[in-house]
Amino acid sequence: MQKENIILENAKKLVQVKLAGEASGHDWWHIVRVRNMACKIALEEKADAFICQLTALLHDMADEKLNDKPDEELERIHFWLLEQNLSPTDADHVIRNIRTLSFKGNGKLVPDSLEGQIVQDADRLDAIGAIGIARCMAYSGSKGRPIHDPVMKPREQLTPEVYRNGQDTAIMHFYEKLLKLKDLMNTDFGRKMAEQRHQYLENFLEEFYAEWDGQR
């Protein structure tokens, strides 16, 4: 097997062990979807598909929701990449991508490479559309939060701390993150993919409120 394929296989095993049983929307199949979508966008955008796939596979490993010390975990992954005989330049690249991918309440971080931007788009596409709705409900349920509370209003200015720990409902999360994602896409292909998924969110909300009010 080619060196790159061996590294991808090893990364896959590493991630599968870490995410086994994860029930807050970061499960293994999220990683598989992000990897597949990143490959698809990489082809369109003529990017390095290996770096995209490696970033996609590892992108949630050092997430603060899954780690008490995310920075230490990121260092451990950096070391692991070098152990895999990945060049220091590529290892730095993947780590930089992972560091800048996450939404963290404001969506202001943008990876500085095309490959990082592609995986960010793929990750964000998985947060909208039908799958995005399912993940949002699963995440909210895992935190014991309500589906909807008409008294609670979406918050405008979200710091990373409030984004993670504040009072929240699943429906509030649509306004605080999901509906913003289509305008934050980095690539043309990602933007195009986001359109239909975004429309699906809008349709869902319309139906949700109509049913809430007993109109349908």
Residues in touch with Ni ion (CB under 5 A): 60, 123
Interface positions, 127-146, toward ligand ADP (CB under 6 A): 127, 132, 135-136, 139-140
Judged by CB under 6 A, the residue of 55, 97, 102, 187 near ligand ADP is: 102
Judged by CB under 6 A, the residue of 104, 148, 155, 180 near ligand ADP is: 104
Binding status of residue 168 toward ligand ADP by CB under 6 A? yes
Angle between helices 129-142 and 188-212 (to 10 degrees): 60
Q: In the 8-state DSSP scheme, what is residue 181?
A: G
Q: Positive or negative, the Cα torsion across 86, 89, 92, 97? A: negative
Residue 213 CB contacts under 8 Å (≥ 6 apart), including other chains: none
**Closest approach of ligand ADP to the CB of residue 76, in Å:** 19
The residue to which tokens 């990143």 are assigned: 38
Q: How far is it, in rounded angstroms, from Cα 116 to Cα 149?
A: 36
Q: In this chain, which stretch among 32-40, 84-92, 96-104, 111-119 interacts with ligand ADP, using CB under 6 A? A: 96-104
Q: How far is it, in rounded angstroms, from Cα 148 to Cα 52?
A: 36
Binding status of residue 123 toward ligand ADP by CB under 6 A? yes
**Closest approach of ligand ADP to the CB of residue 201, in Å:** 11
Report whether 95 contacts 164 (CB < 8 A). no
Residue 142 CA neighbour count, 13 Å, CB half: 14
Nearer to ligand ADP, 60 or 90 (CB): 60
**Closest approach of ligand ADP to the CB of residue 123, in Å:** 6
Q: How far is it, in rounded angstroms, from Cα 129 to Cα 114?
A: 24
Q: In this chain, which stretch among 13-21, 31-39, 83-91, 97-105 interacts with ligand ADP, using CB under 6 A? A: 97-105
Judged by CB under 6 A, the residue of 177, 182, 197, 198 near ligand ADP is: 177
Residues that bind ligand ADP (CB under 6 A): 25, 63, 65, 102-104, 123, 127, 132, 135-136, 139-140, 168, 170, 173, 177-178
